[in-house]
Every structure is written in C-alpha cells, then in structure tokens.
Structure 1
Amino acid sequence: MITTPDTRMPLCKGVDIEEASIARLQRWLQDARFTATDLAECYLERTRRLNSVLKAVIELNPDALDIARARDAERGRGFIRGPLHGIPFLVKDNIATKDKMQTTAGSSMLIGAKVPEDAQVVKMLREAGAVLLGHANMSEWASMRATYYSEAYSSRGGQGRNPYNLAENPGGSSSGPAGAVASNMCAFSLGTETDSSVILPADRNGVVGIKPTVGLTSREGVIPESHNLDTVGVFGRTVSDATVVFEAICQPPRELVSQVVGQGALKNARFGMPWKRIWEKASWDSSAKTQYQALQALIGRIRAAGAEVINVEIPSAEEVVPIDGGWDWDYPSKIGHPEQSEFTVYLAGLIVNPNNIRSLEDITQYNIEHTDKEGGVPGTHPAWPTGQDSFDKSQASKGIEDETYKSALNYIHRKARDEGIDAALKYDGKPLDGLLVPVQADGGVAMQIAAQAGYPMITIPVDVENDGVPFGLAIIQTAFKDDKLIKYGAAIEAVVGGRPRPHFRNIHADNWNYVGVPPEEAGPTA
C-alpha cells in the first residue's frame, strides 16, 4: 500500500513558519517564541515528511541540533552573530563540509571520503551563525557526465522531484537546494552554477535565485567544473532572504541588503528586452504561450510603476543562438570542461578516499566497473542512456587549456560580453538598469548567454504554467553590478506580490526526467 506523505507544515511551538522570511524567523527567535533548536527540529520534521518523495535532501547533518543549541546558548548570553543567527540552511552536495557528512557530488564512489576543511562559503555561514541542516541532492556530477540523462538524479540521492508537480523536471543541477527551499525544508540554501544550474532550478521551483558575478563568491572547497564559469549562488523564497545570505558569503564584503526596496524604485528605471532569439522565441513558441502572456502582462505593470522598458538587441544573438532558440546542451564539451586538472586538485586534497578516486580516469573507470549503479556503460542504467559520454570527451582532452580551448573561451566571452550583454545594456548613450528576460520561455538562451559571460543574474517567481510548474522573470547585468539586480529584483517582486506555493501534484510520480538530445539507440536499460 502506498502511503501519501503529510504535506502539512509542522508548527514550531505553535507558530506557523511556512513561507516565513528570514527576518520574521529572526524576530520570533528574538521574542523567544521558539529557539533555534525548535526551528531546526521543525525543518527536520518537514524533511522527514516530504523527502521520501521529493528526494531534495541527500543527507541530514547529525550535528544540526547540537549546532542549534550552541547558537541558543550564545543568544542566551546576549551574543547575536547577525541576521542569520540560528537560521537553518542546506548546501548542494558538491560544496564541502568538514563534519560527519559526505561531500560526493551525488556519486556513491566518494562515500566515505573526507575533506580537509569546510568550503569557504560554508565557513562564512557558520561564522554568521547559520545552522547547517544537511546536504541537498543534485544532478550527479553537476549534470556534466553525459549529454542525455535524467535531470536531478544521483546514485546517492535518487530521482529528485519538483514539489509543484513531481512528474515534471525540477531543473538542474542544483535541483535539491531549490526544491528544499520551495517546499520549506529550510530557510535558504546554496547551489552552484556553471551553465544555468542556479537560475533554472530556481525558476522551475518558484524561488528566487541569485547567480553572482563569477568570482564574487568563493569556489574554494567546491567540486569544480570550470574555473572560468563556476560560481556559488543562493536560493531564497524572497529577494530579501536571498540577499542577506548573498551578503554573508561575498568576498570582499559588499553592502547589499540596503538595496532591497519596494516597487517605488522602478520609477524612472530603464530596462531592455532583448528581442531577437530571446523574447522573439518566447512569442513564437505555442508551448510557452501562458508564460509569454503572463510575462508581458508583468512588463506592463512594471511600466505602470514608472519604468521605461525598451526593445533592444544583443548584437551577437543571431550568430551564437540557433534559429530555433534552443539551449545547446553540448556547450560544456565544446569548450573543453570539466577540466581533469581541476578534478585532480580537488580529489588530491581529500584526507580520506576509500575508493582511491584521484582523477577523471578513476571516475570513469569506477562508473564502468559499477555500471549497474553508476551507468558508466551506455544503456545499462535508465538514468544515463548515453553512459558518461561527456566525461569521455573531457578525458580525451586531458584537461589541457590549449590554443583551441583558449580560442573558444575568448570567442564566447567576446560574443557574450562585448558583443552581447554589454552592448545591449548601452542604449541611446545611457546604460540600462538591466535586461529583462524570460528564463524558460526562450528555451534557456538568456541564461546561457549570462553564464558564458560570467555575468550576474537574478530570477523572480511570477506564476505557474498549465502543468503547475512555476516560471519567472529574470534580470541580467554586467559584471559586479549584482547590487542593481537586487534593487530591481526586489522592486519587481513587490509588483508581482509574492510567489505561488507548491501543491505537490502527482505526489507518487516515478518517471525519469530526461534532458539533452536522445541517442539514436539507447540500448537496453537496467
């Protein structure tokens, strides 16, 4: 008999904390409505009720309640570390934590491995007083091991689900962190992005996602994919929540919370709407009709709030974006990442490594030898019909930044930056306050351009599609203008009026969520 999980949010000492902001949770803690220990227990109970179907959390921290008690003791002595004191969070399973948990990028081959220290972003959040509840599930190896695979699946965590409709793709690779925040398993979470892995799951899970300028948050202690593109990002249920966390992990420190303002900030703001290959694609696509109409209606409300919204062009769009506006899933292999050398550096730093995984060659060999669970051979596991073909390509390149690699990197930077976002932001001799773009209705193109540029992006939940899956509006800016994204993201959020809550459709779904280009012959599956 299938048991339907209890989707009600447990009360915290009689207080309904569902959808509560970090600021409100902090006020309740200060007013002694409950303690940090009570709050952690409430979120842990929520996880116990839902995670059997959502698979958003890969491992709970056995020390979480001890950490919460320590924060309570500090509060009792009058010592408050800041706005995150006692606030529970999760991190993606490729962000290292030196404790009793594993850091495995979702792969069973790293179970038992021990890292030498916390990732820098984790260290900073611990110092800020936040309470680490555990590791969140993810697309194994951050979606980079194959060209066709089941998004949000990992051999350790299983098939992650979308809390709005469990039969639909939750987006990847930071699916677990986004889904956990969306379903109120934690107050906030950290994810990572190389190419859309923060923005897409944020959008499809109805939460705010901030993907910072590359280099603004530390990647130290994060299992790498590309040092040219990787960044640690933040998930929150509101812009304010995501911002207070982002401020805590920025290096060097930046004052960002003061940028969270109301819709009055839209008066006299100037935004661009990149048309060719982006909004154009959204207007053509009949499957995106609901999104396009809702987003255009929101643009009208943004104008009514006093902003100017102008159609602009990304000069390189017709050159770098296919005519169908589709997302190029083979992009990572074309510029030669993940780089074997980076894997080697990270893996060499492990102080315990039971399976002696030291290089990309070791990873691919392990997957082949354990293909029933890890799908190293094409057609032997349903999650990976093409096996590990992206790893194979990367291994063949030897992770060498040769002239071909450097030429490709220079090309995408030039097309995404000088002839892309930066050009579009210069309109009529004055810089625009941001580029407004759909996240999903254009096939993911805008996200990819921002990722290639290494530029910041924020997405704001707007509504849900006919299938119940959320979608939103995003803003893109140039490098290190993250503060502008926060200012105008908060203003647009105020116009929207709040995010839709999850409704857990198809709660017993057991399908795979394939993405990429299907192989002509997938072969037998396990």
Structure 2
Amino acid sequence: MSEADEVQIMRNDSDAKVDRLLMETTTRSLLKQLSTGQITSEAIVTFYLDRIESIDKSGPRLSSIIATNPAAMAEARQRDRERREGVAEGSLHGIPVLLKDNIETVGPVATTAGALALKYNVRTEDAILVKQLRANGAIILGKTNLSEWANFKSLKSSSGYSEIGGQTKNPYYLDRSPCGSSSGSAAAISANLAPLAVGTETDGSIVAPAAHCGIVGLKPTVGLVSSAGIVPISHSQDSAGPMARRVEDVAMLLNAMVNPIHPNAIEDYAAQLNTASLNGKRFGITESTERFPEVVREVFEQAVGALEAAGAEVVRGLELPEEEALGEAEFEVLLYDFKHDLTDYLSSTPDSVTVKSIDDLVEFNRANPSAISPFGQELIEMAASKGELTDEAYLVSKKLIEKHGKQEGIDHLLAEYQLDAFIAPTNTPSWLINHVEGDKFEGGSSSPAAITGYPIITVPMGDVSGLPVGLSFFSTAFREKDLIELAYCFEREINARILPEFRAVFSE
C-alpha cells in the first residue's frame, strides 16, 4: 500500500469519526467535545458545509440554504484559537448557527427575505440578536430559505418558496411541503445541516415548519428577543425564535438570543430541565382541537395519554372566545403593521436597494414579473392601501385582541382552571408541494399565541404514515421557561423524533 493510500484511509477514518460525533448531536455534547479536545470548531464547520453541499445543493437538493457564510471557516478557526488561549467564554462558543434570511448580517451575504427587491440588501451591521449570538461565541454558518416575505405576499402561496431561494423541500418526503415561513431553518436542522437555527414567526412561522420537519421550535413572547434588524411583517406579532432537534438545544439557543436588559429575561432557560416534572401539571385542551383530522387526533390522544401517565391532569372542552372575530382583527392589524413597518425598514436600506417603501415594492414587482410569480402579490397590495395606525379600524382591532385574545381568552382560562399551559396538535400531515393551487393547509394551533404575542413551543409527538406531527404548548406572556420544561418532560417521555431519509415520493 502506498503512502498516499495510507493517508487517504486515515482521512476516511477521521471523517467517519466526525460523522459519528455530529449526526443528531446536541449542543451540550458539542460543547463538551470542544472543551475536551475531541473535536474542533473547524472540523464541525467543515462537516456541516460538506453536508450542505451533498444534501442541500446536490443529492436530495433540499434547497434549505440560500447562502453559506464565506467567513464561517475563518470564524471557526478564530474560535479554536480562543479556546486554546483559554478565552472561550461564550455560552455557544464554537457552535454553528443558521439564520433565516430575513435576519440581517454584515455583508457580503445579503439579507433578502427571499425577495428579488432585496437581492442587493447587503448590510454593514448585524441584527441585534446576531450581535448577541456572536458575543456568545456562535459561528454564523449561513442564511436559510423562507417563504418569500415571510409568507405575507399573496393569498395563495407554496410554503418554502422564494424567488431567491427556490422551493425548500421536506426532508422526510421531498415532494411534500416543509411548511413555513421558516422553512429552510426547519428543514436544515432536521437534515442535520447544522445543530441550531433561528427562525421568525408572526403566526405559525416557527412552530408549523418545525412540526412538519420533525424538530422543536419556540416562538417567544413578542419583545423578549430584539426584532431590530429583521425584515418585518408586524411589530405587534413578530418574534425571532430558536429551532433545534431537542428541547434543551432550543433553551440554550434562547439563552443567547434574549435581550439581556429585558425586565422579563431569564439568565438560563435550561437551568432546571433535569429536575422538571409533569406530575401535578394541568393542561387545557380547547374545542378547536376537534377540527383536526382523525389521524392527527389519534396521535394527539396518545400524547395526552403519555402526559397523564406522567402525572399530569387534562381539562377538556375549553373555548377561547370570539375566534372568528379575532382572526379578522389579526388580519387587519397585520395589513396595517406591514404597510408601516415594511416602509420603515425599506427606507433604511442601502442605496443598492431601489425600493424604499411598500408602494415602491408594489411597482417594482409589477415591473419584474418573476418577482410575483407564481402567486401574485395581493397581500402586499392590500397592505399598501391601508391608512395610518391611528385609523379606527386598526385601533378597534387592537382593543378586541387585548380583550378577547388576552384578558377574556388565554389569561382568563389559565386562571379559571388553574392551568400550566394549553396543549394542541401543531399541524396536520404535510401536503404535496403545488405551485398552481398553493398550500393545502388543513389546520394549526398557532393563532391564539400569535394574536396575543404570547409564547408557544412545539415538540415532535409522532407521525402519520411517516409524516411528522407536533404537540404545541402555549401560555401567557413570558412563560418561556415553564413551556420549555413542560416540552422537555414530554420529549423525555415519548422521544418521537425520527431521522429523515429523504424519500422522493410520499405513499401511504
């Protein structure tokens, strides 16, 4: 055997060892391996970049990543130097993180929200949450694809499709939707293209794709994580949140994301996970759960049984008031907010972006047909036609949400029945990707928490013929730590995550 052959065998053995260490790994395990010298950040980043190339850009072609960070390897080597020099102080030191591509990062990678109008939106400063991630030692691995404009563009859409990033696929069955709008973040984490990712949610955009892709996702209370430097839909409902394969990883990423000066911030959301228990906890189930398909309710009832077997109590048949009116109020608020929040954002973009207002965006899209294919831009046009945030229609909608969504809704039922949280199925099984008819969305449970700005977490609870479904826990404002502990206990009881195999076509 030649010396070159021996070197190649050694390299193959080393690669196989790294593969074993990193597939389905946890953040805590990575940090331990880094601290003991079993692995380096350079090796970790190399593994994920190679995997992105072989799974996202070729092979199954998930199309979950819009761009990798050209400085990722340099950042990894810097983290390794810091560790050797004894200055590895950040809570995520040397850990790669993916960001949804509506979250600003310093160039050369643009922040596009998947939209042609923002193709050259190269920023000179990171979003605040990205600054916090870097301060905690995280390595920005790249930017993930999303439903264009975070799925606030047209009445019909295909979740995970954008003009910039194309169509993200579900890693379980490639012909199925990953849901959205944080489609790329969810698919990439499920496919082991990174250990951690950040998504954003206005209504369902973290928890829905997380559930469809068999991972954990948390949408925090609005305001707990800074939204500065994120392409907006609505200041009333937008929040960035952590996505990972395990609940503890979500908690550890949240630690590095929360605004540290927020009065409701907690230093360590993972601190009591090992001592958390379901015994004596009380969960509410609303009547809306009955609207889910029977195949989903069957999996949900198994999850409820697991909670009860662990000592939890369940209160059924609860009713959140004025559901239809709240949905209408939410839509009104989102249209008004989008007009003003997006115009504020666009007005601050660099000269390389010619669109400076929502009216400019409407005209840009009309002048560039590919920018509005295949579904149009009805939502953008509807938002552009709205008035000021002092309009009665807007103020009445905000008051209705405060009264029926919060005071007489979630908050009242939590107190009346002494509940720790509500539980519900997160999603129905993923549907066939369709660029003519769009998404075949059959139900979700994100809206009560979305409309109120309250926190919600989803964790895998099982599958329907191999398509993952999740269980959501939601509660009142700033109960993230409680929800994380409840989800962690459930995950420990049922451990329902299954590894995706990138099958081409779904068949029951």
TM-score, normalised with respect to structure 1: 0.86
Aligned to 1:378: none
**Structure 2 unaligned regions, length at least 5:** 1-14, 429-440
Instruction: State the distance in 1 between where 2:156 and 2:19 align.
Output: 47
**SS across alignment from 1:16:** helix
Aligned-pair CA distance for 1:445: 4.8
Displacement of 1:345 after TM fit? 2.0
Q: Does 1:389 align with 2:378?
A: yes
- The one-letter amino acid of 1:137's match is N
RMSD: 2.1
Residue 424 of structure 1 and its aligned partner are, at CA, apart by 2.0
Question: Shift in Å at residue 316 of structure 1?
Answer: 0.4
Contact 1:436 1:474 in 2 (8 A): yes
1:27 positional shift: 1.2
Q: Are the counterparts in 2 of residues 225 and 337 from structure 1 also a CA contact under 8 Å?
A: no
Kindly report structure 1 stretches of 4+ aligned residues shifted beyond 3 Å.
Answer: 10-16, 317-321, 328-335, 398-401, 441-445
CA distance in 2, matches of 1:142, 1:241: 24
8 Å CA contact 2:422, 2:473 repeated in 1: yes
Matched, 1:66 2:78: no
Distance (Å, rounded) in 2 between the aligned partners of 1:316 and 1:445? 17
Alignment pair present for 1:266 and 2:278: yes
C-alpha contact 1:114 1:353 (8 A) present in aligned 2: no
1:346-357 correspondence runs (5 A): 346-350=345-349, 352-357=350-355
The answer on 1:471 being equivalent to 2:483 is no
For residues 232 and 353 of structure 2, what CA distance do their matches in structure 1 show? 19
Per-residue Cα deviation, 1:244-298 (whole angstroms, up to 9, x for no partner): 0101111234131113236x60111111112x2x22213xxxxx22221121012
- AA at the equivalent of 2:219: K
Residue 461 of structure 1, CA deviation = 0.5
Alignment partner, residue 185 of structure 2: 177
Query: Closer, same or farther in 2 for the Cα pair 1:317/1:345, shift >3 Å?
Result: closer
Give the letter aligned to residue 455 of structure 2.
P
Aligned residues: 473
Shift of 1:72: 0.3
Separation (CA, whole Å) in 1 of partners of 2:258 and 2:146: 23
Q: CA deviation at 1:349?
A: 2.0
Match in the other structure for 1:453: 452
Instruction: Give 1:214-363 correspondences, 5 Å limit.
Output: 214-251=222-259, 252=262, 253-254=265-266, 255-261=268-274, 265-274=277-286, 276=287, 278-282=288-292, 288-316=293-321, 320=325, 332=331, 335-350=334-349, 352-363=350-361
CA distance in 2, matches of 1:145, 1:422: 32
Cα distance in 2 for residues equivalent to 1:433 and 1:259: 16
Query: Percent identity at matched positions?
Result: 33
* Offset of residue 338 of structure 1: 4.4
Partners of 2:299 and 2:463 within 8 A in 1: no
CA separation of 1:412/1:291 partners in 2, compared to 1, >3 Å: closer, same or farther? same
- Say which is worse superposed, 332-341 or 207-216, in terms of deviation: 332-341
Cα shift readout 1:1-47 (whole Å, capped 9, x = no counterpart): xxxxxxxxx74646431100001111111121221011001001111
SS state at 2:74 partner:
helix
Indicate how the Cα distance of structure 1 residues 25 and 213 shifts in structure 2: closer, same or farther if over 3 A, else same. same
Aligned to 1:408: 397
Correspondence 1:33 to 2:24: no
Q: Which of 122, 131, 142 lines up with 1:114 in the alignment?
A: 122
Structure 1 gap segments, 5+ residues each: 1-9, 283-287, 322-327, 376-380, 510-526
Structure 1 counterpart of 2:433: none
Structure 1 contact 11–42 (Cα < 8 Å) conserved: no
Give the direction of change, closer, same or farther, for the CA distance of 1:84–1:121 in structure 2 (3 Å limit). same
Paired residues of 1:433 and 1:477 also in contact (CA < 8 A): yes
Q: Which residue of 1 is the match for residue 434 of structure 2?
A: none
Per-residue displacement from partner, 1:446-479 (whole Å, max 9, x unpaired)?
Answer: 311110011100001011212x321011101101
- Report 1:360-439 matches (<5 A): 360-371=358-369, 373-375=370-372, 381=373, 383-384=374-375, 387-398=376-387, 400-428=389-417, 431-439=418-426
User: Which amino acid in 1 is paired with 2:272?
Assistant: Q
Partner of 1:3: none
Instruction: Report matched runs for 1:189-204 at 5 Å.
Output: 189-204=197-212
In the aligned structure 2, how far is the partner of 1:151 from the partner of 1:138? 8
For 1:23, the aligned partner's letter is R
After TM superposition, the structure 1 stretch with the greater mean CA deviation from structure 2, 69-78 or 468-477, is 468-477
Q: 1:316 to 1:289 in 2, by over 3 A?
A: same
